[in-house]
Amino acid sequence: MTARIIDGAACAARLRETIAAEIEALPASARRPGLAVVLMGENPASQVYVRNKGVATRKAGMVSTEHRLAADASEAELLALVASLNADPGVDGVLVQLPLPGHIQVARVLAAIDPDKDVDGFHALNVGRLWGGEVGLIPCTPRGCMKLIAEVAPRLAGMTAVVLGRSGIVGKPMTQLLLAADCTVTIAHSRTRDLPGVCRQADILVSAVGVPGLVKADFIKPGAIVIDVGINRLDGEDGKTRLVGDVDFAEAVEVAGAITPVPGGVGPMTIACLLENTLIAYKRREGLGG
């Protein structure tokens, strides 16, 4: 059996088009949604992410602003910038690009973002809302994973799901979304015994670990849906960097029922869901529902 490939790039393009159409349809006099991204330091991967977010935001018809701070700027400077963006009526989404330099307390910065502008969904209030089943802003990557799963399985009730990885930005919120969709959910991680056996129970396996090729054929139940969140950079023999996921794609594609590729799977969905969150935040702030 060869798995169906879930095309994240196409799914993300459709979502971006829907968002752009909604913004296009706003009255000419209406304010456009605004996303402010804060980048501290020179992390090369972060610079690429921030650039891509800016391009996608503008393409969707939103207002994108980028705020850069030097790597040695103080936490007080960063917090003052976040406070000014919280207070800016033209800004609906505030995103502080992670990771932050070592002298900055990430939790303090995330706590300083207005929860209603917290388009990453990392503020403790939004984390709590997700766990409590209340309306909040949902982290972009798990949100995107749920849309990719919906491409191949519209009804998830009763399915067994295993989430590999327990980070606050992917693994934990992913489990909540699957639980809310009535799956029976297990979180597996670096200390799990018999990882292949646990993962093999899954009708839906989501891997968010960061170890290239960790998930082999014996981790996968025949016919399962496999969502590969991992983004790992490997140096190719030609001197070029190659992106691979956590899943050994060549093996997995022969066992799974449906699978996301890397690149072109979860990655594009993350940015599209960031735009969706920004639009949701805008609509709530403007009293337009959302």
The residue from 92, 116, 118, 120 that is catalytic is 120
209 binds ligand NAD (CB under 6 A): yes
- Taking a C-beta distance cutoff of 8 angstroms, is the pair 95, 67 a contact? no
CA-to-CA separations, 285 to 12, 17, 177, in angstroms, rounded = 25, 22, 24
190 binds ligand NAD (CB under 6 A): yes
The residue from 53, 117, 147, 221 that is catalytic is 53
Count of residues binding ligand NAD (CB under 6 A)? 23
- Taking a C-beta distance cutoff of 8 angstroms, is the pair 256, 223 a contact? yes
Binding span for ligand NAD by CB under 6 A among 9-17, 29-37, 63-71, 203-211: 203-211
Query: Among this protein's residues, is 47 annotated catalytic?
Result: no
By beta-carbon proximity to ligand NAD, the closer residue of 11 and 81 is 11
CB of 166 to ligand NAD, least distance (A): 4
Q: How far apart are CA 253 and CA 260, in angstroms?
A: 9
Sequence-separated (6 or more) residues with CB below 8 Å from residue 142: 170, 173, 174, 176, 177
165 binds ligand NAD (CB under 6 A): yes
By beta-carbon proximity to ligand NAD, the closer residue of 40 and 164 is 164
Q: Look at strands 232-235 and 241-244 and give their pairing.
A: antiparallel
Query: Among this protein's residues, is 53 annotated catalytic?
Result: yes
270 binds ligand NAD (CB under 6 A): yes
230 binds ligand NAD (CB under 6 A): yes
Interface residue with ligand NAD, options 9, 153, 211, 243 (CB under 6 A):
211
- Taking a C-beta distance cutoff of 8 angstroms, is the pair 278, 15 a contact? no
The residue from 97, 117, 147, 221 that is catalytic is 97
CA-to-CA separations, 22 to 17, 60, 67, 91, 180, in angstroms, rounded = 9, 9, 27, 18, 27
Q: Which residues pair with 173 in a beta bridge?
A: none
Q: How far apart are CA 34 and CA 207, in angstroms?
A: 32
231 binds ligand NAD (CB under 6 A): yes
Cis peptide before 142 (omega within 30 of 0): no
By beta-carbon proximity to ligand NAD, the closer residue of 7 and 286 is 7
264 binds ligand NAD (CB under 6 A): no
Interface residue with ligand NAD, options 163, 267, 276, 278 (CB under 6 A):
267
| Phi and psi torsions of 72, nearest 5° | -100, 15
256 binds ligand NAD (CB under 6 A): no
For 86, the token pair is: 């919280």
- Taking a C-beta distance cutoff of 8 angstroms, is the pair 212, 177 a contact? no
Interface residue with ligand NAD, options 50, 170, 255, 281 (CB under 6 A):
170
- Taking a C-beta distance cutoff of 8 angstroms, is the pair 23, 74 a contact? no
Q: Which of residues 70-99 bind ligand NAD (CB under 6 A)?
A: none
110 binds ligand NAD (CB under 6 A): no
By beta-carbon proximity to ligand NAD, the closer residue of 134 and 218 is 218
Active-site positions read 53, 97, 120
Give the footprint of ligand NAD on this chain (CB under 6 A): 141, 164-167, 169-171, 189-190, 195, 208-211, 214, 229-232, 266-267, 270
